[in-house]
Amino acid sequence: MTNAQRTNAEKVLVIACGMIAREVLAVKERLGFDHLELTCLPAEFHYRPDKIAPAMDAAIEKAKAEGYQHIFVGYADCGTGGHLDVVCEKHGVARMAGPHCFAFYQGEAAFAKVADGDMMSFYMTDFLCRQFDAFFIKPLGLDRHPELITDFFGNYEKVIYLAQTEDPALEQVAKDAAVLLGLGYEKRFTGYGDLQRDLGKLK
C-alpha cells in the first residue's frame, strides 16, 4: 500500500521544527518509512521558544481534526522550559528526547560528556550553515555593523560544526564563520544521531 492510499489514521505525522525538516526527510528515506508524513513549525521559533508550545498545541489539534491518530513531536525541549512537555502530555504524544537538537544530533550520552566543556562554544548545524546569513548576519545587523561581532560573540571561544552530512561547501561556511567571529573551530561529524533512532521507532 502506498502512502497515498493510506488514510490519515494509518499514517504517522511528525510535527517538527523547520530547522530539521531536511534531516527528517533524509531519515525517512533512509528508513524507507513511506507511512511517515512531515509538517513543520517555523524555523524562526528557534529564537522564540515561547512560541513553540502554543503553536504545537494548535498544530496537534489541527492534525487530530484531520484524522491523524499517530503524531510525533519533532522537537526536543528547545528552550520551552517544560511547556512543550505539558502540551505533549495533554495530547498523549511523544517528542524527541533531550534539551535541544544540538544534543540529539550528537546523541544524548555523547552530549552529556561534552556539555560542560562546550558551554563557551557556538554550535552550527547543516541548516545553520545554509542559513548563516539569514539567521545571524542580517538579523543581528553584522553586515552593516561588523563592530557588533564582539558584543554578540565575545564570550564564545570556538565554533563547533555538528555536521549531519559530509558537504565541503557547508564546512567552508562554518570555517568562514569562525574566522569572521574571531573564534576557534572544531568539526564533529554527527550524522543524524538520535533523530534516526527516535524516528526509527515510528513503525
**Mind listing the pLDDT tens digit of every residue in the chain (203 residues)?**
555 567 998 999 999 999 999 999 999 999 999 999 999 999 999 889 999 999 999 999 999 999 999 999 999 999 999 999 999 999 999 999 999 999 999 999 999 999 999 999 999 999 999 999 988 888 888 888 888 888 889 899 999 999 999 999 999 999 999 999 999 999 999 999 999 999 999 98
Same domain, 91 and 110: no
Q: Please say which residue of 48, 75, 96 terminates a domain.
A: 96
Predicted confidence at residue 176, as pLDDT, reads: 95
Label the pairing between strands 94-95 and 70-74: parallel
Q: Give the pLDDT of residue 5.
A: 60
Say how many CA atoms lie within 13 Å of 53 toward its Cβ. Answer: 16
Whether 77 maps to a domain, the answer reads yes
Do 109 and 79 share a structural domain? no
Task: Please give the pLDDT value at position 147.
Answer: 85
Which of these three, 66, 96, 126, is where a domain ends?
96
User: Domain check: are 64 and 26 in the same one?
Assistant: yes
What cell numbers appear for 99 in the block?
534539551
Residue 22: burial class (beta carbons within 10 Å; 0-12, 13-18, 19+): middle
Total count of domains within the chain = 2
Q: Write down the pTM of the prediction.
A: 0.91
* CA 190/CA 199 separation, integer angstroms: 16
Identify whether residues 89 and 106 lie together within a single domain.
no
The gap between the terminal CA atoms of the chain, to the nearest Å, is 14
- Domain membership flag for residue 111: yes
The pLDDT score that the predictor gives to residue 9 is: 87
Provide the CATH number for the domain around residue 62: 3.40.50
Which of 46, 76, 96 is where one domain is finished? 96
